[in-house]
Amino acid sequence: MKKEITYREAVRIAIDTAMEKDERVFLAGEDVGRYGGSYAVSMGLLEKYGSERIVDTPLCESGFTGMGIGAAMNGMRPIVEIMTCNFSLLALDQIVNNAAHLLHMSGGQFNVPLVIRMATGAGKQLAAQHSHSFEGWYAHIPGIKVLTPATVQDAHDMVGLALDDPDPVLIFENALLYNRKGPFDSAAKPLPIGKAKVMREGNNLSIFAYGINLFKALDAAEELAKEGIEAEVVDLRSLRPLDDETIVASVAKTHRVLIVDEGWRSGSISAEIMARINEKAFYELDAPMARVCTEEVPIPYPRHLEEAAIPSAEKVAAAVRTLMKEA
C-alpha cells in the first residue's frame, strides 16, 4: 500500500513488522520502552510486545551492545538502539573488537547478526557531544556494514535488510530526518545493501551525498538548474560497501565530481570516495574533484555557528559554481 508517512513512522513500522514475523527479534536501548525512544521511534511497542522484547537498558552502551552481540551469537535477532552515534564511542570495543571481528577470529564459525541503529548529525542545537557524524569512521572497519538511509522508503527497508544480514549492520539515522515525510510503499521491493541510487539525472556534474545531505544536494540542484547547470545527484545509501559501479558510471557521464559529507574533511568518507574515483575513473575527469564537509571544529551550540559549520544547500551550490569554472 502506498502512502505518505514520516521517517520516524517508517522505522517504527519496520521494527513492528519484523517483531511480528520473528519472535527472535527484540529491541534494546536507553528509553526505548516506557519513554518510547529518544526520538519516539519505538512509541507503543512496549505495550504491544512487553518488556522482554522491548528492553529498557541502563546508561551503559558497552554493556547493552555486548548483550546484543551475545544474543545474536545465540540465535536471536537483536536491534540495539544507541541514542546518538557520539555515545557509540562508549561501545567502540564491543562494536569493533567483537561484533566486527568475531567471524574472522572464530575461523568463520560465529556470525554476529546484530543490528545497531543510532542517530547522527547536527542541526538540533544539541552541541558537540550529541551532534557529530561518525558513520565515515565506522565505514573504515571490515566486518560491518554501514547504512545511511535518507528517504522514508529506505528508513523502512533498511531495517529489514539489516535483520536479514548474517553480519553486523550499523544504521545511521540523521536526527533531522525523523519528522520528514515522504512516500512509502509497503509492497515495494527493497534496493539491496551496497547499491547507490541516482535521485536526479544530470549531465554537467555528479553530486554524491547521503543522509540529510541528499536533500541539500537536491535543493542545490534545483537552484543550479535555473542557471543552466544540470547536476546529477546520487544517494550513496551505503557507505560500506560503497557502490563503486554506480559512482564510476556517473563520473563517466558528467566528468565533474562534488561530494557532500557531514563528517569532518580529514580522513572522511569523502576522501575515500575521491581516492576510489582517482583509482578507477581518473581519466574521465575534466576538473579536480571537490567536496563540502563539516568545518573541522566540534559542532557549536549557537544556531548561527552550528549552521555555519555544517554543509548547506547554499554551500553545495557555491561549490558547484566554482567547479564548473574549472577547465
| Model confidence pLDDT, tens digit, residues 84-101 | 999 999 999 999 999 999
Q: Which grid cell sits at 188?
A: 515495494
At residue 128 the predicted structure's pLDDT band, cuts being 50, 70 and 90, is: confident
307 is catalytic: no
Query: 169-174 and 54-56 as β-strands: parallel, antiparallel, unpaired?
Result: unpaired
β-bridge partners, 170? 116, 146
pLDDT tens for residues 174-217?
A: 999 999 999 999 999 999 999 999 999 999 999 999 999 999 99
**How far is Cα 103 from Cα 106, in angstroms, rounded to an integer?**
5
**How far is Cα 73 from Cα 42, in angstroms, rounded to an integer?**
24
Contact 79, 115 (CB under 8 A): yes
Mean pLDDT on 4-10:
98
**How far is Cα 214 from Cα 172, in angstroms, rounded to an integer?**
14
pLDDT at 19: 98
131 or 274, which is more confident? 274
Among candidate residues 9, 30, 61, 135, the one labeled active-site is 61
Q: Which grid cell sits at 57?
A: 537498558
Q: Work out the percent of the chain whose per-residue pLDDT is above 70.
A: 100
pLDDT at 327: 60
69 or 129, which is more confident? 69
pLDDT at 130: 86
Among candidate residues 130, 132, 272, 306, the one labeled active-site is 130
User: What's the mean per-residue pLDDT of the chain?
Assistant: 96
pLDDT tens for residues 20-57?
A: 999 999 999 999 999 999 999 999 999 999 999 999 99
241 prior amide bond cis, ω within 30: yes
At residue 304 the predicted structure's pLDDT band, cuts being 50, 70 and 90, is: very high
At residue 296, does pLDDT exceed 90? yes
At residue 157, does pLDDT exceed 70? yes
pLDDT at 126: 86
**How far is Cα 272 from Cα 251, in angstroms, rounded to an integer?**
15
β-bridge partners, 77? 25
130 is catalytic: yes
